[in-house]
Amino acid sequence: GQQVMQIPQYQHVQEGEDFTTYCNSSTTLSNIQWYKQRPGGHPVFLIQLVKSGEVKKQKRLTFQFGEAKKNSSLHITATQTTDVGTYFCAGPFSGGYNKLIFGAGTRLAVHP
Partner 1 sequence: KAGVTQTPRYLIKTRGQQVTLSCSPISGHRSVSWYQQTPGQGLQFLFEYFSETQRNKGNFPGRFSGRQFSNSRSEMNVSTLELGDSALYLCASTTQGGYQETQYFGPGTRLLVL
Positions in the binding site for partner 1 (CB under 8 A): 30-31, 33, 35, 41-45, 48, 50, 88, 90, 92-93, 95-105
Contact in structure between 87 and 108 (CB atoms under 8 Å): yes
Question: What size, in residues, is the chain?
Answer: 112
Contact in structure between 21 and 11 (CB atoms under 8 Å): yes
**Dist. CA 108–CA 110, nearest whole Å:** 6
CB of 1 to partner 1, least distance (A): 8
Indicate the residue among 66 and 103 with the shorter CB distance to partner 1: 103
CB of 55 to partner 1, least distance (A): 18
| Beta pairing class for 106-111 and 85-92 | antiparallel
CB of 22 to partner 1, least distance (A): 16
- What φ, ψ does residue 102 adopt, rounded to 5°? -95, 145
CB of 57 to partner 1, least distance (A): 18
Indicate the residue among 77 and 102 with the shorter CB distance to partner 1: 102
Indicate the residue among 64 and 106 with the shorter CB distance to partner 1: 106
